[in-house]
């Protein structure tokens, strides 16, 4: 079982729609969860972090965490063409140390 | 503010040649440091991480090695490159507060 799993996509949504990105993880001891955005040819950029069960909102982005289900999600409201990128879910290991492990990413395409 | 420098931006090396990639962080002390590789169309693979000078954890057994000779310097090396070593190499840093990692601009390595 992979430590962090994401659907690779591509996920296509029209401009103005809600994009929903999902991620599951295997280490029950994990305490810190992150979403990164990566444009083609560029390095990843941290956009959201979440540490407690529930929702965390930041502008058009909402991160959701369910530790019982080992599930993290990212919602992007009012999607814009500029949101077209690969979104990477990252989980910081719990007991095993401080390593930050990434999923393979989901490619999002927002059409105008 | 903290900044991370990674060089070179691109590199073309023949098979069997050595490799040395360097990363330095400014504006902080005692950071966690990471080396990741992203092969074409694939996710971020953690190669090495370090929590302090001389402390290196290896994630994937291969012909690469890492060293941390100074607090804010992280070096990735190989004695003999393989074709499969081609990829986008990313250095990242984080603090002990487990609030995510921040990436350098990356080195695109092509082994020919």
Q: Band the pLDDT of A97: cuts 50, 70, 90.
A: low
pLDDT at A96 over 60: no
Point out the residue among A45, A100, A105 whose CB comes nearest to the CB of B43.
A105
Compute how many other C-beta atoms are within 10 angstroms of the C-beta atom of residue A20. 15
| β-strand pairing of B64-70 with B73-78 | antiparallel
What mean pLDDT do residues B44-50 have? 93
Torsion of CA B60, A35, A88, B30, to 10 degrees: -30
**How much is the pLDDT for B41?**
72
Closest CA–CA distance from residue B14 to any residue of chain A (Å): 22
What mean pLDDT do residues B8-37 have? 95
pLDDT value at residue A95: 55
CB contact under 8 A, B44 and A44: yes
Is the preceding omega at residue A10 within 30 degrees of 0, hence cis?
yes
Residue A104, min C-alpha distance to chain B (Å): 4
Q: Quote the tokens at residue A18.
A: 């809600």
For an interface test with A, which of B101, B102, B106, B109 has the most A Cβ atoms less than 10 Å from its Cβ? B101
Asked whether residue B96 carries a pLDDT value surpassing 90, the answer given is: no
Tokens 């530790």, located at residue: A67
Residue B77, pLDDT score: 96
pLDDT, tens digit, for every residue of A32-73?
999 999 999 999 999 999 999 999 999 999 999 999 999 999
- Pairs across A and B, CB distance < 8 A: 57
Where does residue B58 rank: exposed (0-12), middle (13-18), buried (19+ CB within 10 A)? middle
Q: Which residues of B touch A103 (CB under 8 A)?
A: 43
Dihedral over Cα of A58, B93, B17, B57: its sign: negative
Residue of A nearest to B51 (CA): A98
Say whether B44 and A43 touch across the interface (CB within 8 A).
no
**How far apart are the two ends of chain A, measured CA to CA in Å?**
37
Write out pLDDT tens, residues A6-18.
Answer: 988 899 999 999 9
């Amino acid at each position: 079982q992979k430590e962090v799993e994401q659907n690779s996509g591509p996920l296509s949504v029209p401009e103005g729609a809600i994009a929903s990105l999902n991620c599951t993880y295997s280490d029950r001891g994990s305490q810190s969860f992150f979403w990164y955005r990566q444009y083609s040819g560029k390095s990843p950029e941290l956009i959201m972090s979440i540490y407690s069960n529930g929702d965390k909102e930041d502008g058009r982005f909402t991160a959701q965490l369910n530790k019982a289900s080992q599930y993290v999600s990212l919602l992007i409201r009012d999607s814009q063409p500029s949101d077209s990128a690969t979104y990477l879910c990252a989980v910081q290991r719990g007991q095993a140390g401080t390593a930050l492990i990434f999923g393979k990413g989901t490619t999002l395409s927002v059409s105008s | 503010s903290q900044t991370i420098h990674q060089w070179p931006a691109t590199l073309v090396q023949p098979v069997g040649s050595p490799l040395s990639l360097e990363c330095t962080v400014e504006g902080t002390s005692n950071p966690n440091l990471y080396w990741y590789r992203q092969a074409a169309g694939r996710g971020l693979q953690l190669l090495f991480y370090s929590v302090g000078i001389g402390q290196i954890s290896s994630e994937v057994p291969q012909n690469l090695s890492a060293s941390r000779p100074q607090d804010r310097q992280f070096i990735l090396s190989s004695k003999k490159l393989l074709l499969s070593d081609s990829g986008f190499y990313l250095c990242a840093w984080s603090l002990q507060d487990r609030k995510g990692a921040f990436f350098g601009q990356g080195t695109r390595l092509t082994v020919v």
